Structure 1
Amino acid sequence: MRGTIRPGHVVIDDRGRVAQLHGIGVQRVGDRWFAWGEDKTAGSTFTAVACYSTDDFAEWRFEGNALEAGDGDIGPDRIVERPKALRRPDGMWVLLLHIDTVDYSAARVGYAIAERPQGPYRYLGSERPLGTISRDIGVYQEDGVGYLLSEDRENGLHIHRLRDDYLGAETTVATLRQERRPEIGYESPTLVKHEGRYHLFGSDLTGWSLNDNMHATAPALEGPWSAWSGFAPDGSRTFDSQVSVVVPMGDGFIYVGDRWRPDDLFHSPTVILPLRIVGETATLEWRDAWRAGEERG
């Protein structure tokens, strides 16, 4: 029997502690999903990347800290956000991170590597992918090829193909911008494929303030990409959340977002909802409580 998901509530893990699922990245591993989240014990600066696993998105088991504060890029005075992991074809795991200074002037992607999804990961260093600014990130993988989704405040939202070792960007596949503000793109990107079509989700650039997140589709990663459109009711601010990841599950999808509390990031609730994709349309609907697997996509 699957557990009950209560969107907008703080998630409690198997230890009875607040699960640090902020800025989450998710991957399927065997019969469970592993998740990597920002530990906000210190607020906005870095404490650790926490790792959890679940089989129903309702009950979460703490798997340990995948990466803990150290020196340099991952020092306790640095910003380390949006942990996203990919498993390479050789079986090694690569953790990609938004690395920054507290004034957000560094704008880099960090890379760490481990033999197991839960780590511990060994931090290797950071880059500005292909020389571009990189803040919020996402990842995508298809046929053994890894992709980095990278928000570049100066040029838009990039889809970069990663090198074979996943430890750096190799080439830019596409760059997307907003229609109403064509000088910028969307942040907190996540990408899935459904029935031969790619679906990209992102959030407007409004800091901690929440907004109506957007969605675009394309028949190929190179495009052509559709115009951006909302996928939650207009004015709902995506049910007061910022998208972090969209996860394929069975015939449907699960949306996981953050309901940020700037003055208490540690207790920021997680919003987990069913997401329906039909053709070129994505639809997110509110549920006070639900069980994963009970709704079709």
Structure 2
Amino acid sequence: MSSSLAPRGSIVPGRLFEDDAGRPVQLHGAGIRRIGDRYYAWGEDKSHGGTFGGVACYSSPDLATWTSHGHALAVTPDVPDLAPGRVVERPKVLPAPDGTYVMFLHIDSADYADARLGWAVADRPEGPYTYLRSERPLGNISRDIGVFLDDDGTGYLLSEDREHGLHVYRLSVDLLTVEEVVSTTLAPPSDHPAGPHGYESPAMIKVDGLYYLFGSDLTGWSTNDNKYATAPSPAGPWSAWNDVAPPGTATFDSQVSDVVTVPGTEQTAYVYVGDRWDRHDLFRSPPVVLPLQVAGGRADLVWRDSWTIDTTTGVIS
């Protein structure tokens, strides 16, 4: 499928969005969150290929028309974790109780040996963010990450640790500390002939009191049949893993990055945001953004060649 620019204002899975200046939107490994009446998105700027080119920030009223706010977090030579040649991936942002915004990052070396979690903070969603530090949460390897904010304000970090599994961590009230592992899940035996591991590129939503956890198998840049599990609590117990898209489609040739909840006056919609990686041209790797039907413990990704969503009503057309 073509990875050229989608018509402005439309969502065309497998085509790049353009921003208000007509440039390809850099929402690789993206995190998206509704703040006020707009949706803010943070993604990896792949202008430097596989190494850090900055965290790009955009906002949109409709998840299709994107305004660029530049870099929320820039390459910073005198900050070792943000220096040229480093790996900074999967930017996700949560609002803190004090009105600030906390950005979570996968921080790594070019050979992926560091496997750390990074924090940055800002007074505005678009930044600029001040980088704080990185660590291995509770001593565990941390690569692909996701975040989730529960109805009661509790924040959770989702982090892939291939030595032990996919961890769900509870965060401190200010979101700046990892306090405990509340659950750890593994991929089913059929998915890990080389030994136990968890899923990567995790995302979580809550629907009608049930938690849905999404993830991708460890197949590098190649896509696979992404899975989901459900539980009555982030602490589990988690169900068996199920395919989120028709088996054999490799999740419509994509890897989950985030799942966005769109609360509307007529219905609440759910939007899957995935990456279709082109390892030879990461800058132009297109997103795959699709409606996700979620109800009664099932999550089903629905293909649409082109579509829009009314973020006021929640109606998809």
With the shorter chain as reference, the TM-score category is: over 0.9
How do 1:1-297 and structure 2 match up within 5 A?
3-70=9-76, 71-142=79-150, 143-180=152-189, 181=192, 183-250=196-263, 251-293=268-310, 295=315
Question: Following TM superposition, by how much is the alpha carbon of 1:165 offset from its aligned partner in structure 2, in angstroms?
Answer: 2.1
Is contact 2:170–2:181 with CA below 8 Å preserved after alignment?
A: yes
Is contact 1:52–1:60 with CA below 8 Å preserved after alignment?
A: yes
Is contact 2:117–2:135 with CA below 8 Å preserved after alignment?
A: yes
* 1:130-179 C-alpha deviation (Å, 9 max, x unpaired): 00000000000112221100000100000001122212211111001011
Give me the identity figure in percent: 57
Is contact 1:274–1:295 with CA below 8 Å preserved after alignment?
A: no
Comparing 285-294 with 144-153, which one deviates more in the overlay? 285-294
* 1:9-44 C-alpha deviation (Å, 9 max, x unpaired): 011111100100000001111100000000000000
Is contact 1:127–1:168 with CA below 8 Å preserved after alignment?
A: no
State the AA in 1 paired with 2:41: A
Match of 2:248, SS? coil
Question: Following TM superposition, by how much is the alpha carbon of 1:254 offset from its aligned partner in structure 2, in angstroms?
Answer: 0.4
- The alignment covers a number of residue pairs equal to 296
Is contact 1:217–1:226 with CA below 8 Å preserved after alignment?
A: yes
Match of 1:130, SS? helix
Match of 2:303, SS? coil
Is contact 2:107–2:116 with CA below 8 Å preserved after alignment?
A: yes
What is the rounded CA distance, in whole Å, between the counterparts of 1:69 and 1:164 in structure 2? 29
Is contact 1:83–1:97 with CA below 8 Å preserved after alignment?
A: yes
Is contact 2:90–2:144 with CA below 8 Å preserved after alignment?
A: yes
Is contact 1:253–1:276 with CA below 8 Å preserved after alignment?
A: yes
* 1:27-86 C-alpha deviation (Å, 9 max, x unpaired): 111100000000000000001000000111111110121000112011111000000001
What is the rounded CA distance, in whole Å, between the counterparts of 2:15 and 2:58 in structure 1? 17
State the AA in 2 paired with 1:223: G
Match of 2:48, SS? coil
Question: Following TM superposition, by how much is the alpha carbon of 1:295 offset from its aligned partner in structure 2, in angstroms?
Answer: 4.6
State the AA in 1 paired with 2:296: G
Match of 1:41, SS? helix
State the AA in 1 paired with 2:116: R
Question: Following TM superposition, by how much is the alpha carbon of 1:99 offset from its aligned partner in structure 2, in angstroms?
Answer: 0.2
State the AA in 2 paired with 1:146: G
* 1:97-147 C-alpha deviation (Å, 9 max, x unpaired): 000001100000000010000000000110100000000000001122211
RMSD: 1.4
Query: What 5-or-longer segments of structure 2 have no aligned partner?
Result: 1-7
Q: TM-score, normalised by structure 1?
A: 0.97
2:3 maps to which residue? none
What is the rounded CA distance, in whole Å, between the counterparts of 1:146 and 1:223 in structure 2? 16
State the AA in 2 paired with 1:216: A
State the AA in 2 paired with 1:246: V
What is the rounded CA distance, in whole Å, between the counterparts of 1:55 and 1:173 in structure 2? 35
Q: TM-score, normalised by structure 2?
A: 0.91
Q: Show structure 1 runs of 4+ deviating over 3 A.
A: 293-296
State the AA in 2 paired with 1:225: W
